[in-house]
Amino acid sequence: MAFVLKQSDTYVWPITFDIPVDGGRHERQTLDGEFKRHPQSKIGPMVAELQKLEDLGDLERITEMAADLLVGWSGVTGDDGKEIPFSQKALHQLLEVPFLAVAVLKAYMDSIKGAKRKN
């Protein structure tokens, strides 16, 4: 199969995270995140910043970066079980879930690391 030089501006990648539940347990959750596709020239500096942020624990900047990378989703529902469409307001609510922004960035990093391995 031939490589198509012009790729779509976004791609979908699973985001998996654990949330605490009753009984001292964690429950694994997954949603499909739609990420911006960045050119190689922006990935290097972004990865370097993400590594520094991870070391320093700057959750505010981590949340900002997650909000910039995540441009859509599927698999996010409300209490009524109905799918919640992506919006900036819903994104803000999603990223208020403790450590979900970290999971978004981890998923993004996993997606680009996988691409590096295949090349």
Rounded distance between C-alpha atoms, residue 42 and residue 65, angstroms: 13
Residue 118's pLDDT band, with cuts at 50, 70 and 90, is: very low
Six-digit token pair at 8?
Answer: 């779509």
Closest CA to 18 of 92, 99, 90, 108: 99
Residue 40's pLDDT band, with cuts at 50, 70 and 90, is: confident
Q: pLDDT digits over 55-69, tens only?
A: 667 888 889 999 999
Answer for the pair 72, 90: CB distance below 8 angstroms, yes or no: no
Answer for the pair 47, 58: CB distance below 8 angstroms, yes or no: no
Identify the pLDDT of residue 56: 62
Give residue limits of the domains in the chain: 10-20+27-118
pTM above 0.85, yes or no: no
Closest CA to 45 of 74, 29, 65, 20: 65
